[in-house]
Structure 1
Amino acid sequence: MSASNFDDHRANDWYESTKREVATDQGVLRYHEAGEGPPLLLLHGSGIGVSGWRNYRHNLEVFATHFRCYILEFPGFGISDTFDGPPMVTAAKSVVLLMEALRIESAAVVGNSMGGVVGAQVAIRYPQRVTKLVTIGGIGPNIFSQNPSEGTRLLQEFADGPSREKLVRWLDCMVYDPAVITEERIEERWDASSDPASQDSLSAMYGSKALAERQYAMRNSEAPPYWSMLHKVQCPTLLTWGRDDRQCPPDMAMIPMRCIPDAELHIFPNCGHWVMIEAKEAFERVTIEFLLR
């Protein structure tokens, strides 16, 4: 079934039938659940109007034929309750809280961009929780490419002064093929970006003040960056990347590929940051083979 047919004929019913929520001592977490088999957590990235559902709705049906899938909505992005603390910290906390609430002792994890970083952080801190890790861009430091990247600079422009035009520029930066950015996708993201919680999370991660504070902290903090701890990721790891990623350029993959003891890298040609969308069938095939291996 093509992504367009999925949108036209099944998305609304699939969305409602898989929607769940669970209370934790930090607040309510919302997620989507489907399929049978070993557990698979799908963690979304950051960005304008993002959600777990928007990241993975086209992949869920395929993954659900092999796994019990859980698409978690991170706190502070307008769907789950907002937790106190920086978005990246609360996201990692929410993964463990969800697993505890649903009595999932361990699971494979697929994480897009920020979700991949979160998955790696959970694997470092709670190695018994993550059986396998699949990342989609995002993980690691910029080695040869500029930092902040083109995509991050566009996010900063939007966070400092949202407009539909700025949204379109950022969306175009996410993909290799501009045809992926339909009017429906633009309107969906624009509508979602108006949520106050979503705006707050975006500003906390990509506003000019937040980026300046992050750059200062990187230069002056005695605490090591997360990517220097990647040697502690003990589970088998598949790093996936779009060759034409302008949000997280593929040179970022070099450190995690070298430092994670059991890591392999797959780069998809003619593909930007949204590998799970733009290289859907190939990404699903490679990922399922890795997870079932």
Structure 2
Amino acid sequence: MAGMDVTYEGTRREIATDKGVLRYHEAGQGPPLLLLHGSGIGVSGWRNYRENLGVFAEHFHCYILEFPGFGVSDPVGGHPVATAASSVIRFMDALGIESAAMIGNSMGGVVGVNVAIRHPDRVSGLVTIGGVGPNIFSQHPSEGTRLLQEFADGPSRDKLVRWLECMVYDRDLVTEERIEERWQAANDPESRKTLAAMYGSAAFAAQQQAMAASGAPPYWSMLDKVRCPTLLTWGRDDRQCPPDMPLLPMRLIPQAELHIFPNCGHWVMIEAKQAFERVTLDFLLR
């Protein structure tokens, strides 16, 4: 799947909301499709989906949303996952999008699930890439999360490389260009602040204690409220979100199906690019 040509400058947009400017990339015509990025070191929506945008834009009006706090859109207060979910609704309201299909990578999948639980009329279909569900058989935190904690507690280029190599099955994907791009982005103050808030040892421990003290149910215990058709995609060799995690969402989400890609790590949309695009388009175009 070759896809249409897209460039960073040619697709970049921004829109003002009541809580600051949201920046995004836009391409294609057709039904709306929101692409929601994950967390991690030097992450952005563009870096997650730039290689897939051209293919999806042949069938959909695509929007790659940059979440607040990751160095692109204006930051807002609060936990990054919660502010990301609220930014999706702000973004859709600002552009007059009543309902859309969504693709969410890792944290972006959790964001999409939370939007589908709380605003079921806004999500027509959902594709997740890792991330969703609890660790059942695997250790928690995972190997990838522990590497993120190490970087958040004391950033270094070597720690970045170790985490990047943990994201993929094929280490040849961890090129010097990709390392340098992520390292430069990770030095953005807002990006580093968000990473520390999500994965720093102190913040991570405080979050676990707060959740236990609140008595509030975890989001994955409410997955039966996700009413839209949902495709869970996973890399069999994912060391950030091990492949036991989708077992529970596969059973709880009423219209869920699961596709696992072999010889593939956490970045399914990059490492299994063509297969992921084919399976996702088949699902979304039914």
The alpha-carbon deviation at position 84 of structure 1 amounts to 1.3
- Tell me the secondary structure at the aligned position of residue 246 of structure 2: helix
The structure-2 alpha-carbon separation of the partners of 1:218 and 1:143, relative to structure 1 and needing over 3 Å to count, comes to farther
CA RMSD of aligned residues (A): 1.3
1:162 counterpart residue number: 155
1:217 to partner: Cα distance: 2.7
Q: Determine which of 64, 67, 74 is the counterpart of 1:71.
A: 64
How much does 1:214 deviate? 2.0
- Tell me how far apart the structure 2 counterparts of residues 216 and 143 of structure 1 sit (CA, whole Å): 20
Query: 161, 165, 174: which is aligned to 2:167?
Result: 174
- In 2, Cα distance between equivalents of 1:197 and 1:217: 24
Runs of 4+ in 1 over 2 A off after TM superposition: 217-221
Q: TM-score under structure 2 normalisation?
A: 0.98
Q: CA deviation at 1:219?
A: 3.1
Unaligned runs of 5+ in 2: none
TM-score of the aligned structures, taking structure 1 as reference length: 0.96
- Is 1:191–2:189 an aligned residue pair? no
Deviations 1:178-233 (A, max 9, x none): 00110000000000000000000000000001111122234333110000110000
Task: Within 5 Å, give how 1:67-106 maps onto structure 2.
Answer: 67-106=60-99
* 1:239 aligned counterpart, secondary structure: strand
Question: Is 2:24 aligned against 1:34?
Answer: no
Q: Which amino acid aligns with 2:168?
A: V
Q: Whole-Å Cα distance in 2 between the matches of residues 156 and 232 of structure 1?
A: 32
CA distance in 2, matches of 1:272, 1:120: 21
Give the partner amino acid of 2:27.
A
Offset at residue 29 of structure 1 (A): 0.1
Deviations 1:125-153 (A, max 9, x none): 00000000000000000000000000000
TM-superposed CA distance for 1:2, in Å, is 7.5
Q: How does 1:1-293 map to 2 (within 5 A)?
A: 14-293=7-286
Secondary structure, aligned partner of 2:121 = coil
One-letter code aligned to 1:34: A
Q: Distance in 1 between matches of 2:105 and 2:43?
A: 11
The DSSP-based 3-state class of the residue aligned with 2:244 is helix
Q: Extract unaligned runs of 5+ from structure 1.
A: none
Name the % identity.
76
CA distance in 2, matches of 1:167, 1:203: 14
Aligned-partner Cα distance in 2 for 1:189–1:25 = 30
Letter in 2 for 1:224: P
